[in-house]
């Protein structure tokens, strides 16, 4: 367990503390929040790992698809946008090319 990250996950990282020599627990706690118990640290670490796994899943899944701009461009060129939205895009594209 990374005690520093567990404390961060618990929202108690504004307190000052010193870890024991093995860095497996808290040696000294100085702060307004109560010192987290071993069970709280374990839960904080578990929650941190779950949050990191969720972020990894999201980034891994996003990498499986083309960028959203490319997806929208393909839909536009396939004439799959609603007429009103396609007209707004055409109007904007035309005004941008005229100002170049």
Q: What is the pLDDT of residues 57-85, one digit of tens each?
A: 999 999 999 999 999 999 989 999 899 98
List, in sequence order, every residue forming a beta bridge with 28; answer none if it has no partner: 18
Domain match, 20 and 51 both: yes
Residues 16 and 47 in one domain: yes
pLDDT at 99 over 60: no
Q: Which residue has the tokens 């461009």?
A: 73
pLDDT of residue 1: 95
Residue 97 confidence (pLDDT) above 70: no
Do residues 56 and 15 share a domain? yes
**Number of separate domains in the chain:** 2
Same domain, 51 and 77: no
Domain span including residue 21: 3-62
* 57 and 92 fall within a common domain: no
What pLDDT does residue 94 have? 82
Distances (CA, A) of 55 to 30, 50, 81: 32, 9, 31
């Amino acid at each position: 367990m990374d005690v520093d990250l567990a404390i961060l996950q618990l929202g108690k990282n504004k307190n000052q503390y010193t870890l024991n020599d093995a860095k497996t627990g808290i040696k000294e706690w100085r702060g307004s929040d109560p010192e987290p118990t071993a069970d709280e640290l374990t839960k904080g670490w578990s929650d941190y790992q779950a949050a990191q796994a969720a972020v990894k899943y999201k980034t891994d899944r996003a990498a499986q698809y083309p960028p959203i701009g490319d997806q929208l461009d393909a839909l536009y060129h396939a004439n799959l946008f609603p007429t009103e939205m396609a007209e707004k895009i055409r109007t904007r594209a035309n005004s941008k090319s005229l100002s170049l």
